Chain A
Amino acid sequence: MAIDVSKITETISWKDITEGCKIEAAGNSRMFNTGDWRVNTPVFIEEKCEQCLLCVPVCPDSSIPVDNYKRGEFDFMHCKGCGICAKVCPFGAIVMKMGER
């Protein structure tokens, strides 16, 4: 029987936590907010962006969404602020805010 993953939150009691923390549901890793581990934060400067999309495949967390061949704002729910995208961008369209979430 599938479980309601939305009920597994940081306020869950030990009596309700699933046996061995198992998750009987699929496609829910997206719900895990790993973005709050971030220390530094990338800033997208849209006017400088040439949409070359070089930043997209290098992101280890797939946190640069692409729609219709154009990149959009970062997915801050999952971006961990590693700065790789900023290093790769040839046009200075990504700068890192250091020490800020």
Chain B
Amino acid sequence: MSIRERLSGNEAVATAMRQINPDVMSAFPITPSTEIPHIFSSFVANGQVDTEFIPVESEHSAMSAAIGAEAAGARSLTATSSCGLALMWEVLYVAASNRLAIALALVNRTLSGPININCDHSDSMGARDSGWIQIYSENNQEVYDNFVQAYRIAEHPSVRLPIMICQDGFITSAAVENIELLEDREVKEFVGEYCPDSYLLNSKQPLAVGPYAVSAYCMEAKRAQLEALKNAKQVTLDVAKEFAALSGREYGLFEEYRLADADYAMVIIGSAAGTAKDAVDQLRAEGKKVGLLKIRLFRPFPGEEIAAALQNARVIACMDRTESFNAQCGPLGAEVKSALFNARLMPVVINYVYGLGGRDVTVESITSVYADLIKIDQTNDAGEIYRYLSLRE
């Protein structure tokens, strides 16, 4: 039986964490994710969970403590945003290379500067190549559902990698929406007990974690790590299937919205997809063949599947909520274009930078993107292929 509630995105994640009842949470507050450890620590204080809560002195320490705890054999997690994730940078790679299935609730916020506390994806996009699994959420329901599925993916024996569950700062993290929760018992059964094969606190089996690897081993270690990340794709699908049987809510590697016969496609991540779906509906009502692909799994990047889903599109807009400062494309644009190229598909792809530092995304602004795509098709002139949306000229 599902429970109808109304929760903010942060409350939804904290609720999932309570239902999972992890062994260790280490955290340091940063806007807009502060509420997550704040709410969770009240669950600890009230005895609703038996988690060891470690209030650390920085985000570098938060991730380091989670690494230590996970290596010791404890199911561990943390939450952060923006510069907090940036301060974890060094140790994010250590968590991944040591194959520690830590869960991180990321509330996306821009990286300074200019200093700004609002949403864009520059924090998680900067960490996209750290070896973590990355899953993005459109709304509160999705971030809750994704967090419930997180450990099942991360701890799978063919994967064993840390996982980042991302949601948009303020837009979903602070906004209260209707939500359907699973019962505590259902989450507990779905996630299951954590029984690692090897862990430092096992007195019967001595273990060295994270030893030095000379040049003769380092490349083999990285290749093995890549295989684990690749495996996360199928595991994500398998876990989603089980989750659908439990909740009735279906998830894939990405969501296709009126895409199958669309001539004009948009690829987008996060909360703006909700706004974009409204724009798609309006344009479809006017007879325009527009559609949308919303990324869920960004790491590993399901390139083949995305290229197949986009194969009929004539003009594509890749929406990047971050500036990559390479003067060519954003991270999503780069991934989608290389996936299309590998599949020998050559549609026109326009890469938009949008919503930086919390810049509003509206049905009108998204509609203007589709209007651009249609015009490009009609005039056969792509014009500038790397553009800013809703920028004052």
Which positions in A face B, CB cutoff 8 Å?
1-2, 10, 12-15, 17, 19-27
Q: Please give the distance in Å from A83's CB to the nearest CB on chain B.
A: 24
B353 to chain A, nearest CB (A): 36
Q: Evaluate contact between A21 and B211: CB separation under 8 angstroms.
A: yes
Known: A19-B160, A19-B224, A20-B99. A25 touches B206 (CB 8 A): yes
Complex-state Cα separation, A23 to B212, whole angstroms: 11
Complex interface: chain B residues within 8 A of A1 (CB): 197, 205
* Interface Cβ pair total, 8 Å cutoff: 55
Contact of A22 with B209 in the complex, beta carbons under 8 Å: yes
Is B209 a contact partner of A20 (Cβ separation < 8 A)? yes
CB-nearest residue of chain A to B218? A21
Least CB separation from B219: chain A residue: A14
B97 on interface, CB distance cutoff 8 Å = yes
Known A-B contacts A10-B216, A12-B220, A14-B223; the reply to A19 vs B208 at CB < 8 A is no
Q: Is B213 an interface position by the 8 A CB rule?
A: yes
Residues of chain A within 8 A of B206, CB atoms compared? 24-27
Q: List B contacts of A17 (CB < 8 A).
A: 217, 220-221, 224
Which residue of A has the minimal Cβ distance to B96?
A20
A22 and B217 within 8 A (CB):
no
**Are B220 and A13 within 8 A (Cβ)?**
yes
CA distance A15 to B100 in the complex (A): 19
B211 touches A23 (CB 8 A): yes
Which residues of chain A come closer than 8 Å to B99, judged between CB atoms?
19-20, 22
Contacts of A22 in B (CB 8 A): 98-99, 198, 207-211
Q: Please, how many angstroms separate the alpha-carbon atoms of A14 and B198 in the complex?
A: 20
Which chain A residue shows the least CB distance to B160? A19
How far, in angstroms, from A27 to B219 measured CA to CA in the complex?
25
Kindly list the 5 A-B residue pairs having the minimum CB-CB distance in the complex, ordered from nearest: A26-B206, A14-B220, A20-B99, A14-B223, A10-B216
Q: Which residue of B lies closest to A19 (CB)?
A: B99
19 contacting pairs across A/B (C-beta < 8 A): A13-B220, A14-B221, A14-B223, A14-B227, A17-B217, A17-B220, A17-B224, A19-B99, A19-B224, A20-B97, A20-B209, A20-B221, A22-B198, A22-B209, A22-B211, A23-B207, A23-B208, A23-B211, A24-B198
